[in-house]
């Protein structure tokens, strides 16, 4: 296997040689709150990356990946962020669906979907949250009924999903649906792969505070998918869905932190230009933000402890249940609390530094600091709110009494 430093040099050189010409204009574009930016062009860039073998780095070689270690992937995301390369459009496929199919899917499912994910020819979205099942995902009400033969029939899906990122760009959705009538909570759920280009699916973009739309409502009305496109056993969808969530927070967070460092550096420059850096309280908050970023990085490196965290199937003993699974869930929750609250606070600091100028538009568009402030309000909500993360830590790590929940 190539050494980490040799791979880092390979990535750095490739980015320097390829992030030029038409792709140079994409630098810094995309990411949370900015997914609308140059999406078709970023899709072309993502496919260019794939053709160079720079996607799906941690996937096993037999599934089309490069079988690289966590350290190699950390190096990739650090160099990618330092080059200010555009945010990739295939995160959900590459980092969530692909690893889930490798861990839980059938050979036929892997052969059907993994090549298209790797080559970025099919995009995915996540069908988890519903109007009554957001933070408490076990309240899923979307139904799925098997019609016909278990091998050659169809699943008929009815219900609504909400806050579905990038559904208006995706071709497929992985949907958590209740397949056993009368079941409650975690029981009776199935994890289905559903094509979106069909008459039974309606996608309605949600206009955000920023004026953009990267989240959607998705309505299923007698939508169909093949009977064999259930991942895992019917009724065992909760286990598969939790496996997917284990893949959600991985090494890409270190690249995210480099982008955060760039935002902080930009704020320091802004404070210097407008004189607000002379305010001792502003200097203190900037210093605390820098210290918080170092803490975030140290924690990420300390908990990215071994290969098994990245490569072990969540279906393996101890990986999704029991003490080991609880500790890992707690680590992910602490990580989410650290970066989400840090980034929200940075958005608030940006508005303080801008002063009254942050209250008005300069033209028809929000500037980068106004957009940061508005979208970072969501950081402590999506992906599990602060309250949910603290409950996980309290109940699963500290062993405190569980919160009372409905049956």
High-pLDDT (> 70) share of the chain, %: 90
Conformation bin of residue 157: beta by default, left when phi > 0, alpha when psi is -120 to 50? beta
pLDDT tops 70 at residue 305: no
Beta strands in 151-308 (DSSP E): 154-161, 172-178, 189-195, 201-206, 215-226, 230-231
* Domains identified in the chain and CATH numbers: 4-89 (1.10.540.10), 124-235 (2.40.110.10), 249-397 (1.20.140.10)
Which residue in 248, 269, 395, 403 is the catalytic one?
A: 248
Burial of 316 (0-12, 13-18, 19+ CB in 10 A): exposed
Q: Is 5 a catalytic residue?
A: no
Instruction: State pLDDT tens for residues 221-242.
Output: 999 999 999 999 999 999 998 8
pTM above 0.85, yes or no: no
**Is the Cα torsion angle 45, 47, 50, 52 positive or negative in sign?**
negative
The distance between the two most distant Cα atoms of the chain, rounded to a whole number of Å, is: 72
* pLDDT at residue 325 greater than cutoff 70: no
Per residue in 124-135, pLDDT (tens digit) is: 999 988 887 766
Which of 348, 364, 253, 246 shows the shortest CA–CA distance to 299?
253
For Cα atoms 296, 300, 306, give the angle at the middle one, nearest 5 degrees: 170
């Amino acid at each position: 296997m190539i050494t980490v430093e040799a791979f880092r040099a390979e990535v750095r050189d490739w980015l320097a040689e390829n992030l030029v010409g038409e792709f140079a204009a994409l630098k810094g574009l995309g990411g949370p709150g900015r997914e609308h930016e140059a999406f078709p062009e970023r899709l072309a860039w993502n496919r260019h990356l794939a053709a160079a073998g720079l996607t799906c780095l941690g996937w096993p070689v037999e599934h089309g990946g490069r079988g690289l270690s966590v350290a190699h992937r950390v190096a990739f995301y650090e160099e990618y962020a330092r080059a200010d390369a555009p945010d990739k459009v295939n995160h959900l496929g590459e980092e969530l669906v692909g690893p889930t199919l490798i861990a839980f899917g059938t050979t036929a499912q892997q052969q059907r979907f993994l090549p298209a994910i790797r080559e970025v020819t099919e995009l995915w979205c996540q069908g988890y949250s519903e109007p009554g099942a957001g933070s408490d995902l076990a309240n899923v009400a979307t139904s799925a009924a098997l019609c016909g033969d278990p091998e050659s029939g169809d699943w008929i899906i009815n219900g609504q999903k909400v806050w579905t990122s990038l559904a208006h760009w995706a071709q497929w959705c992985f949907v958590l649906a209740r397949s056993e009538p009368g079941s409650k909570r975690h029981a009776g759920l199935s994890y289905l792969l559903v094509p979106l280009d069909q008459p039974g699916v309606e996608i309605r973009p949600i206009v955000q505070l920023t004026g953009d739309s990267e989240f959607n409502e998705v309505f299923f009305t007698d939508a169909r998918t093949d009977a064999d496109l259930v991942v895992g056993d019917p009724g065992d969808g909760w286990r598969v869905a939790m496996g997917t969530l284990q893949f959600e927070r991985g090494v890409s967070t270190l690249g995210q932190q480099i982008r955060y460092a760039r935002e902080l550096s930009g704020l320091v420059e802004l404070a210097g230009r407008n004189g607000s850096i002379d305010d001792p309280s502003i200097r203190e908050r900037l210093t605390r933000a820098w210290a918080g970023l170092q803490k975030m990085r140290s924690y990420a490196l300390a908990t990215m402890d071994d290969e098994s965290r990245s490569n072990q199937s969540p279906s393996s003993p101890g990986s999704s249940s029991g003490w080991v699974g609880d500790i890992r869930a707690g680590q992910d929750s602490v990580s989410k609390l650290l970066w989400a609250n840090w980034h929200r606070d940075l958005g608030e600091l940006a508005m303080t530094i801008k002063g009254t100028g942050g209250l008005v538009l300069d033209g028809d568009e929000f500037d980068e600091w106004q957009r940061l402030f508005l979208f970072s309000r969501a950081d402590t909500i999506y992906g599990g709110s602060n309250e949910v993360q603290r409950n996980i830590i309290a109940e699963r790590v500290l062993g405190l009494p569980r919160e009372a929940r409905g049956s």
